[in-house]
Amino acid sequence: MRAGAAVAELVLVRHGETDWNVERRLQGQQAPGPPLNALGRGQAGVVAAELARRFAGGVDAVWSSDLRRAVETAEPIAAALGVAVQTHAGLRERHLGDLQGLTYAEAPSAQPAAWEALQAPGGAARILGGGESLDDLRARLRATLLHIAAAHPGGRVVVVSHGGALHAAHAVARGAAAKGKVVNASISVLLAAAGPPPAVLCRRCRALEQAQRRPERQPPGTGGDGCSCADVRTDGAGRGGGGSISIAADCTAASAGGAAVPGEHGRPARDFALLCWNDAKHLANAGALGAGDAFGGSACEA
């Protein structure tokens, strides 16, 4: 996590099961989307009771995707915790374009180009028909989770979303995709920075800041020795041409939105820390796992 940043605890929950899950039908963002089936409604009740047990002191809020299956999962959770559901479109599942509504068996022949994009390696391929790329999805989840965290600094928030969206959250937090399926009504826990990055400067930027206070001394870096934050960004004077350099803004901007690690210019500090992933012990104990789900223990203990 970023040093000095306020933190919010985000308790991530996947929606309960739908008939489309059972049919292996691509749900995506088709609105309003399928409702929970009987097992899914039971799963929503089980996870609501589990969260009320774990967080007897309460939570600050329950946020949910605005798609029907997520809202129907969030409502009993919110009721058990004594808060209202707040919806956010940024928590929706990945938009799957022309594939939405098709089964995995139908999709390759019915929409071959869109299917190829879904299976493409890397994260840049967008799915035909207005679909998102994995890069789009990850950027959306990152922005949405940071927005929610910023609304609740120091708080605990339940966030109800979707399997693909939660995989994106894992990738944002850990830098790599998770293996396997996110179990319906499983619980993951993520710490998220709840404020702007502090102005932490690398060694060269700290030296430059000190030199601005003592202009008779020229620090290493002002002659272009490789530190991009020590010799670019002048007030109209150009590279190395004097003027007032916005040191903190330059160093932070070069770190892709995160504060620089002291001594390492351009290396972003982390906005997220994943504490628990895909915990479904409560479902296994209640006999509420879906037919396709397997669970061997709490991922929170790993």
Instruction: Tell me the pLDDT band of 57, cut-offs 50, 70 and 90.
Output: confident
Does the active-site annotation cover 106?
A: no
Selected catalytic residue, list 15, 170, 265, 282: 15
Selected catalytic residue, list 9, 17, 93, 132: 93
| Single-letter amino acid code for the residue at 96 | L
pTM for the complete prediction? 0.77
pLDDT over 60 at 37, yes or no: yes
d(CA 7, CA 24): 37
Which of 199, 198, 189 has its CA nearest to residue 166? 189
Once rounded to an integer, what is the mean pLDDT over residues 33-40?
A: 98
d(CA 187, CA 295): 13
Q: Mean pLDDT across the chain, nearest whole number?
A: 82
pLDDT over 70 at 171, yes or no: yes
pLDDT tens, position by position, 91-134: 999 999 999 999 999 999 999 999 999 999 999 999 999 999 99
User: What pLDDT is attached to residue 247?
Assistant: 40
Once rounded to an integer, what is the mean pLDDT over residues 56-73?
A: 96
Does the active-site annotation cover 93?
A: yes
**Backbone phi and psi for residue 126, each to the nearest 5 degrees, phi listed first:** -90, 145
User: What pLDDT is attached to residue 201?
Assistant: 53
**Backbone phi and psi for residue 97, each to the nearest 5 degrees, phi listed first:** 55, -130
pLDDT over 80 at 181, yes or no: yes
